[in-house]
A and B are shown apart, each in its own frame.
Chain A
Amino acid sequence: MDLVLVGLNHKTAPVEVRERIAFAEEHLQPALKRLQRDSDLLEGMILSTCNRVEILAHGQKSQAQVVQSVKDFLYSYHALKPPFLEDFLYSYLRGDAVRHVFRVTSSLDSMVVGEPQILAQVKQAYAEACQAGSVGTYLKDLIPRAFFVAKKVRSSTQIGASAVSISSVAVELARKIFGDLKGKTTLLLGAGEMGELAARNLLDSGISQIFVINRTPKRGQELAAQLLATAVPFEDLETYLIRADIALVCTGSTSLLLDKTLIEAIIKKRRYRPLFIIDISVPRNVDPQINELDNVFLYDVDDLQSVIDANIRQRCAEAEIAEEIVDKETVNYMNQLSTRSAGPLIRSLKHRIEEICLEELRSNHKNLDPQEYERLEKALRSTARKIAHPFITEIRQADKDPTRRLHKIQLIRKIFRLDKDS
């Protein structure tokens, strides 16, 4: 009885392969039932997202057999011929499977490290498996533990703190300049799609007012209505540049709309209040030299991208701390698991050794008088205890490496043929 994980992800398989073996949400219930039946599993769970397909299985047979039967299931379910998947699939056993589940749930194995969706996806997969009746005591213990680890990683590292998309990085930068965005004003110049997206993001982040300026007033008014903003005429550009805190520029114009002399004049009239200009138009509409002016912060698409790159590097640095947490939690979990299984094991081991010791005595009991029998039985029971003692100590002793401990326990089981009893 062991835990096994078989699957592939964005690192091991191209999208053509991933989409071939993905499980559609509406087919998950029958798939889970079939998995359990075909592969003869005690428990099973399927996690299928656009970046990974993984099957977590808890079977009765040996690990190699369980891995093989899960692979067989994948081939037969998706009507594929072996060895189509062999180069892409990975499999993890026992402790490594637990670690992998913890890593995936904590978003350490994601394409964008620290992205928050994966936790919800694992939760969903778990709910599906619960509904299909394919989870038992093992997974009911493990998966909630993975949620706990994911939360711990999120609260004790900055792994998900920094922004990694163009529109969210614009909000992050605005916060680094203005702090709270409440009461701040945005001027949206142009009606480009990216500009609209960024404006929406700013609105969601608490910005109080948006003004829209567009060359064609009709389109400007439409956009303003969608964003609950105010459309203002192009002639008032300067007035609203003085008033706004953030200027989002996203037009289809091929010439510069804001040049250095204009902004220089404006910044004086603003009494040097900071102005954040985001130029997401291609070609650019804002003179790059404006960034040299005091209290003006100009970002074009490339600049936003370089902040995203830095944020990703920052996330990777945080991921190193997160990996340590996951390692520690894996060791903890494996130790708990073996301690929990130690009780029944010790009982059956004691029983087994006593059996062996008393076997001879019992078969000869006719030749012995009752008094002598009792004396011998007592002596043999105490011998059995003495034989069992070092084994029990070994079982109880916690090990830094939980896999080695499990190996030890497995070996003891094997020697005394305990598996049949338990």
Chain B
Amino acid sequence: MGILLFNSAFGFYVLGLLHSVAAFVSKQKNIFHQIAIVSVSVGFGLHSAFLIYSAVEKGRLPLTDLREALTFFAWTVSLCFFISHLRYRIKPLGLFLLPLVTVLMLGTIFIKSSPVPEIFSSSWIYWHTICLFLAYGMFFVTFIASLLYLFQERELKGKKPKTFYYWLPSLVLLDDLFYKFLISGFCFMTLGLLAGVIWAEQDWVGGWQSDPKVIAALITWVIYLVLIYLRLTAGWRGKRAALISMIGFLSILFTFLGARYLGGLHSFP
């Protein structure tokens, strides 16, 4: 049952991605775009059902190993796609967000599940992971929004409009998407880190401050803090904002995937 839900969710995501690509390439943009949205909606529904099912089956939130973490990460990106679609209706968004969802889902196939580490006895750990993955999803939208802003800005500066000029909304709208997801992502990241600190103060034996993942996460947090600061004080948009949010997201990827190889408590078996 769980496998079936997961596989069909994956299938619908792939279908959604293919139709997003088709919408970009073909002339009949609207039809393909609508099919893509419907497919992703179904995929998201099935994905949510899968998460609930495995939570009930295992008697805990499915967040304990890398395999489950990737699945949950895919779910948060998909959730962010939905929120931004409902609020902003930016057509090419799926073209950029769905590949990550698909890759994350695909990644879980090659990873074996591992036993639950003892640290997951505390509920703070769950809050820690949920908040951080939501933040990661939102920061990915932020990164994509800044890319789309860059595309539209290039169209407007280049004065020879092509597909993106017609397909993308206004700069102000893209900037709004960027800003809102940046701020919410930052709030969730802060909450997630705080939950982690609270847990660490209670249960972590030894210095958690020197854990490589903790340091990486802190660097990421500072990068986004700087981005918000520059945005508010110097009104950074376009190229520079895109560059920093790209660095920020790379830093997230490093924190999430890279830091585990540097040892420390966060490196799951």
A residues whose Cβ falls under 8 Å from a Cβ of B: 156, 158, 162, 173, 175-179, 270-274, 291, 294-295, 297, 299, 303, 306-307, 310-311, 314, 317-318, 320-321
The residue from A158, A175, A297 contacting B157, defined by CB atoms under 8 A apart: A297
**In the complex, which residues of chain B have a beta carbon less than 8 angstroms from the beta carbon of A178?**
170-172
How many A-B residue contacts, CB cutoff 8 Å? 60
- Are the C-beta atoms of B237 and A272 separated by less than 8 Å? yes
| Of B131-139, B161-169, B186-194, B250-258, the one touching chain A | B161-169
Nearest chain-A residue to B168 (Cβ)?
A176
**In the complex, which residues of chain B have a beta carbon less than 8 angstroms from the beta carbon of A299?**
159
Query: Which residues of B in the span 14-29 have a Cβ within 8 Å of any Cβ on A?
Result: 27-28
**In the complex, which residues of chain B have a beta carbon less than 8 angstroms from the beta carbon of A306?**
159-160
The residue from A179, A272, A297, A311 contacting B173, defined by CB atoms under 8 A apart: A179
- Are the C-beta atoms of A310 and B172 separated by less than 8 Å? no
- Are the C-beta atoms of A177 and B235 separated by less than 8 Å? no
The residue from B159, B161, B235 contacting A273, defined by CB atoms under 8 A apart: B235
**In the complex, which residues of chain B have a beta carbon less than 8 angstroms from the beta carbon of A303?**
159
21 A–B contacts from the bound complex (CB under 8 Å): A162-B166, A175-B170, A176-B152, A176-B165, A176-B170, A177-B156, A177-B170, A177-B171, A178-B172, A179-B169, A179-B171, A272-B234, A272-B237, A273-B235, A297-B157, A299-B159, A307-B159, A310-B165, A311-B161, A314-B161, A314-B166
SS class of chain A's interface: helix, strand, loop or mixed? Answer: helix
**In the complex, which residues of chain B have a beta carbon less than 8 angstroms from the beta carbon of A158?**
166
- In whole Å, how far is A321's beta carbon from the nearest beta carbon of chain B? 6
- Are the C-beta atoms of A179 and B234 separated by less than 8 Å? no
B238 interface contact, C-beta 8 A: yes
B266 interface contact, C-beta 8 A: no
The residue from A295, A314, A321 contacting B28, defined by CB atoms under 8 A apart: A321
A34 CA / B255 CA spacing, docked (Å): 85
- In whole Å, how far is A350's beta carbon from the nearest beta carbon of chain B? 46
- Are the C-beta atoms of B237 and A295 separated by less than 8 Å? yes
**Contacts A158-B166, A179-B169; A310 near B237 (Cβ below 8 A):** no
- Are the C-beta atoms of A321 and B27 separated by less than 8 Å? yes
A168 CA / B70 CA spacing, docked (Å): 49
Q: Mark B22-50, 1 if CB is under 8 A from A, else 0.
A: 00000110100000000000000000000
Query: Which residues of B in the span 146-205 have a Cβ within 8 Å of any Cβ on A?
Result: 152, 156-157, 159-162, 165-166, 169-173
Q: Mark B231-262, 1 if CB is under 8 A from A, else 0.
A: 00011111110000000000000000000000
Nearest chain-B residue to A310 (Cβ)?
B161
A70 CA / B64 CA spacing, docked (Å): 84
**In the complex, which residues of chain B have a beta carbon less than 8 angstroms from the beta carbon of A297?**
156-157
- In whole Å, how far is B179's beta carbon from the nearest beta carbon of chain A? 13
Chain B interface size band reads 20 to 34
- In whole Å, how far is A195's beta carbon from the nearest beta carbon of chain B? 20
**In the complex, which residues of chain B have a beta carbon less than 8 angstroms from the beta carbon of A173?**
156
A156 CA / B28 CA spacing, docked (Å): 9
- Are the C-beta atoms of A294 and B172 separated by less than 8 Å? no
A183 CA / B47 CA spacing, docked (Å): 42
A175 CA / B236 CA spacing, docked (Å): 21
- Are the C-beta atoms of B27 and A294 separated by less than 8 Å? no
**Contacts A306-B159, A320-B27; A177 near B172 (Cβ below 8 A):** yes
**In the complex, which residues of chain B have a beta carbon less than 8 angstroms from the beta carbon of A307?**
159, 161
A297 CA / B173 CA spacing, docked (Å): 17
A20 CA / B133 CA spacing, docked (Å): 74
**Contacts A272-B234, A272-B235; A179 near B170 (Cβ below 8 A):** yes
Nearest chain-A residue to B232 (Cβ)?
A271
- In whole Å, how far is B41's beta carbon from the nearest beta carbon of chain A? 23
The residue from A156, A270, A274, A291 contacting B172, defined by CB atoms under 8 A apart: A274
Q: Which 6 A-B pairs have the closest CB atoms?
A: A272-B235, A271-B235, A179-B170, A179-B172, A303-B159, A310-B161
**In the complex, which residues of chain B have a beta carbon less than 8 angstroms from the beta carbon of A294?**
237-240
- In whole Å, how far is B157's beta carbon from the nearest beta carbon of chain A? 6
Other CB < 8 Å A-B pairs besides A297-B156, A310-B165, A314-B166, 13 of them? Answer: A158-B166, A176-B156, A176-B165, A176-B171, A178-B171, A179-B171, A272-B234, A272-B235, A273-B235, A295-B237, A310-B161, A317-B27, A320-B27
- Are the C-beta atoms of A291 and B27 separated by less than 8 Å? no
**In the complex, which residues of chain A have a beta carbon less than 8 angstroms from the beta carbon of B165?**
176, 310
**In the complex, which residues of chain A have a beta carbon less than 8 angstroms from the beta carbon of B161?**
307, 310-311, 314
A237 CA / B165 CA spacing, docked (Å): 32
Nearest chain-A residue to B162 (Cβ)?
A310
**In the complex, which residues of chain B have a beta carbon less than 8 angstroms from the beta carbon of A320?**
27
A291 CA / B235 CA spacing, docked (Å): 18
A297 CA / B171 CA spacing, docked (Å): 12
- In whole Å, how far is A119's beta carbon from the nearest beta carbon of chain B? 22
- Are the C-beta atoms of B160 and A271 separated by less than 8 Å? no
Nearest chain-B residue to A178 (Cβ)?
B172
- In whole Å, how far is A349's beta carbon from the nearest beta carbon of chain B? 43
A294 CA / B157 CA spacing, docked (Å): 10
A86 CA / B166 CA spacing, docked (Å): 43
Nearest chain-B residue to A297 (Cβ)?
B156
Nearest chain-B residue to A161 (Cβ)?
B166
A317 CA / B173 CA spacing, docked (Å): 27
Among A156, A178, A294, A317, the most chain B Cβ lie within 10 Å of the Cβ of A294
Among A173, A177, A274, A306, the most chain B Cβ lie within 10 Å of the Cβ of A274
**In the complex, which residues of chain A have a beta carbon less than 8 angstroms from the beta carbon of B28?**
321
A297 CA / B156 CA spacing, docked (Å): 7
**In the complex, which residues of chain A have a beta carbon less than 8 angstroms from the beta carbon of B240?**
294
**In the complex, which residues of chain A have a beta carbon less than 8 angstroms from the beta carbon of B171?**
176-179, 274
Nearest chain-B residue to A175 (Cβ)?
B170
A270 CA / B235 CA spacing, docked (Å): 9
Nearest chain-A residue to B238 (Cβ)?
A294
Q: Mark B65-105, 1 if CB is under 8 A from A, else 0.
A: 00000000000000000000000000000000000000000
**In the complex, which residues of chain A have a beta carbon less than 8 angstroms from the beta carbon of B238?**
294-295
**In the complex, which residues of chain B have a beta carbon less than 8 angstroms from the beta carbon of A311?**
161
Nearest chain-B residue to A162 (Cβ)?
B166
A158 CA / B161 CA spacing, docked (Å): 15
